Amino acid sequence: MQSAADAALRCGIITLPMRLLYLTSEMAPFAKTGGLADVMGALPKQLHRMGHNVQVFLPAYASIDRKKYPFQKADGLEPLDLSLGQHRYRITYATVQVPGSSLRVHLVQCPALYGRPGIYSSAPDEHRRFLALSYAALEACRQVGFAPDVVHCNDWQTALVPMALKTIYARDPVLGRARSLLTIHNLMYQGAFPGDVVNDTRLMPAVDRFHQDQLKAGVVNFLLHGVLYADGITTVSPTYSREIQTPEHGAGLDHLLRQRSSTVVGVLNGVDYSEWSPETDRLIPHHFSADDLSGKERDKEVLLGKLGLPYQPGVPVLGVVSRLASQKGLDLLLDVIPWVLQRHGVQLVVLGNGDKRLAGRFTTLQHTFPRQVCFYEGFSNELAHLIEAGADIFLMPSRYEPCGLNQLYSLRYGTVPVVHKTGGLADSVQLFDPRTGTGTGFPFDQHDQPGLRWGIEAALRVYQDRPAWRQLQKNGMAQDFSWEKQARLYERLYAQIQG
């Protein structure tokens, strides 16, 4: 499908200043649990820099550090009384400055919904927390007459917006012409709620447009309706866009995704190199570059010192920074790693939080190998940067991985990734061949113990060959996953769905 606008964009004849509305439940540096925050912290900023009219809406979570990021009153936006079924909420708006950009983000304030710890919860009003975000953003647009060309929704939290635009707002003078793009960052989180939640969606006037079999079965699945109604659907890597159209990875939505196959596009995430570059990183003690890696060795020393492990030159350090969730395949790592620690005498540093059972297993591992293993349970952006800088090898044995950002960061920091060949990991890490000196890491095919062991041992073998290792590090550091490039792809998609 090619529209006139698309053709024009491709030829570079015009750059359309598009009106773009972003709805997100996370955004770095304000509110983060994972990669969605990094993406939304970078992509809108990039489109704004490219000259588009960008508006971003994020909940004003209590956890946002207001001292660091002071809120300001949102000029021109009046408080909103929002009804979601029987529930009434008073919404007010504030704005906050995006560091290093002239972009300001709109914060949706509603203490009844966002005045609790953390970003996500399992409370019975979870669906309303993000319906409120969605409607607060759309109603704000109506208040000020901002008619978006494209509303870019992310994950289940804002996935009912495409349906709302096609039904209750279809004839709205401000929103009636808006097109929607839904990005699926992770198909496993679908926002499937009991059927009576339908009363809270404000979509009762269009109740016949919900998936009727599901409604009869007593389920309202937010992401499913995004897949049905969005004008464009993206996922965060080309391989994942194909995987989710198979029964194995489709999490029950593969048939719907296949039906909309021509609309499903994989765009690999980018890296915000203003945050993640070893030459300039504000969170690491020693800077370094591909030409001079001496700072990396000193960062390794600092990292181990901070974590209470002995620094032994020549002993490789393996790093992990991850949500502790079944997706990430850390149970497999825990099965394999004792053998690796014993046989190769390597060290392992793990930063992560989430699943308590996995955390317990890492704690036991640390007790068993006190001079080799440190597990830091928690969320620490600073330590995440230091591990990227100071580790030699980065492990991502994910069962599935829509994109993954840490392998992209690792490449830039000369930290060689060992990854399961799936999703975005398959698209971003190429097998190193010592004979030709090409490749950037060690993707393994089978998600099992021999597979992961092979990946780690292949990396450790090359580590012993210093010139080959340097070459491998340099190959990775030379990769360009900048948002400048990826944002152009989104720009083109935005133009296409308008055509």
Binding site for ligand GLC (CB under 6 A): 34-36, 39, 185-186, 236, 269, 401-405, 424
Query: Please, what is the minimum distance in Å from the beta carbon of residue 292 to ligand ADP?
Result: 25
> Which of the listed partners (ligand ADP, ligand GLC, none) does 191 bind, with a CB threshold of 5 to 8 Å by partner kind?
none
Give the pairing of strands 179-184 and 150-154: parallel
Does 322 interact with ligand ADP (rule: CB under 6 A)? Answer: yes
Q: Which is nearer to ligand GLC, 34 or 195 (CB)?
A: 34
With the CA atoms of 356, 357, 362 and 366 taken in that order, what torsion angle do they form, in degrees rounded to the nearest 10? 90
With CB under 5 to 8 Å by kind, the binding choice for 180 among ligand ADP, ligand GLC, none is none
**Length of the chain in residues, anyone?**
499
> Which residue number places its CB atom closest to ligand GLC?
35
Of residues 82, 405, 459, 477, which one binds ligand ADP by CB under 6 A?
A: 405
- Taking the complex as a whole, the smallest distance from the CB of residue 347 to ligand ADP amounts, in Å, to 19
384 binds, among ligand GLC, ligand ADP, none (CB under 5 to 8 A by kind): ligand ADP
Q: Compute the least distance from the CB of residue 218 to ligand GLC, in Å.
A: 28
Q: Could you give the CA distance from residue 205 to residue 357 in angstroms, rounded to a whole number?
A: 45
Residue 132 and residue 89 in contact, taking contact as beta carbons nearer than 8 Å: yes
Tokens of 298: 């000193």
Contact map string, positions 346 to 385, toward ligand ADP, x by CB under 6 A: -----xxx-------------------------xxx--x-
List all residues 6 or more positions away from 357 whose beta carbon is below 8 Å from its beta carbon: none
CB of 437 to ligand ADP, least distance (A): 28
The nearest distance, CB 386 to ligand ADP, in angstroms, is 11
Q: How far are the Cα atoms of 83, 252, 255, 260 from residue 166, in angstroms, in the given order? A: 20, 24, 22, 17
Which of 112, 116, 120, 125 lies closest to 24, judged by CA? Answer: 120
Q: How far is the CB of 294 from ligand GLC (least distance, A)?
A: 31
3-state secondary structure of 85: coil
Q: Figure out which of the listed residues 287, 298, 323, 474 binds ligand ADP, where binding follows CB under 6 A.
A: 323
C-alpha to C-alpha distance for 431 and 424, rounded to whole angstroms:
14
Closer to ligand ADP at the Cβ: 55 or 234?
Answer: 234
Nearer to ligand GLC, 200 or 401 (CB): 401
For residue 335, the minimal CB distance to ligand GLC (Å) is 22
DSSP β-ladder status, 232-235 and 347-354: unpaired
**Shortest reach from residue 65's CB to ligand ADP, in Å:** 15
Alpha helices in 307-355 (DSSP H): 330-344
Minimum distance of ligand ADP from residue 325's CB (angstroms)? 7
CA distance 300 to 190: 39
Q: Does 200 bind ligand ADP (CB under 6 A)?
A: no
- Both tokens of residue 92? 């007010």
**Residue 44 interface partner, choices ligand GLC, ligand ADP, none, CB cut-off 5-8 Å depending on type:** none
Q: Which stretch binds ligand ADP (CB under 6 A): 78-86, 219-227, 292-300, 317-325?
A: 317-325
Compute the distance between CA of residue 316 and CA of residue 445 in angstroms, rounded to an integer.
23
Q: Which is nearer to ligand ADP, 33 or 95 (CB)?
A: 33
Residue 189 binds to ligand ADP (criterion: CB under 6 A):
no
DSSP-derived 3-state class of residue 133: helix
From the list ligand ADP, ligand GLC, none, partner contacted by residue 351 (C-beta under 5 to 8 A by kind): ligand ADP
Element counts in the chain: helices (H) and strands (E)? 18, 18
Q: Which is nearer to ligand ADP, 380 or 482 (CB)?
A: 380
Place of tokens 């497999």: 332
Longest Cα separation, the chain: 68
Three-state DSSP state, 407: helix
The CB-of-31 to ligand ADP minimum distance in angstroms stands at 12
Q: For ligand ADP, give the closer residue by CB, 25 or 496.
A: 25
Q: Give the separation between CA 259 and CA 265, rounded to whole angstroms.
A: 13
End-to-end CA distance of the chain: 9
SS3 assignment for 145-193: CCCCCEEEEECHHHCCHHHHHHCCCCCCCCCCCCEEEEEECCCCCCCEE
d(Cα 64, Cα 29) in Å, to the nearest integer? 9
- For ligand GLC, the closer of residues 154 and 167 by Cβ is 154
Q: Is 34 in the site for ligand ADP (CB under 6 A)?
A: yes
Under rule CB under 6 A, residue 404 binds ligand ADP: yes
Among 27, 35, 41, 245, binds ligand ADP (CB under 6 A): 35
Q: CA-to-CA distance for 465 and 461, rounded, in angstroms?
A: 7
- Candidates 99-107, 122-130, 133-141, 315-323; binding stretch for ligand ADP (CB under 6 A): 315-323
* Residue closer to ligand ADP (CB basis): 295 or 404: 404
Partner from ligand ADP, ligand GLC, none contacting 329, C-beta within 5 to 8 A by type:
none
Q: Which of residues 89-148 bind ligand ADP (CB under 6 A)?
A: none
Q: Where are the alpha helices (DSSP H) in 345-482?
A: 356-368, 381-390, 406-412, 423-428, 449-463, 466-477
Which of residues 214 and 353 has its CB atom nearest to ligand ADP in the complex?
Answer: 353
Cβ count near 170 (within 10 Å): 12
User: Which residues in this chain contact ligand ADP in the complex, by CB under 6 A?
Assistant: 34-35, 38, 321-323, 351-353, 379-381, 384, 403-406
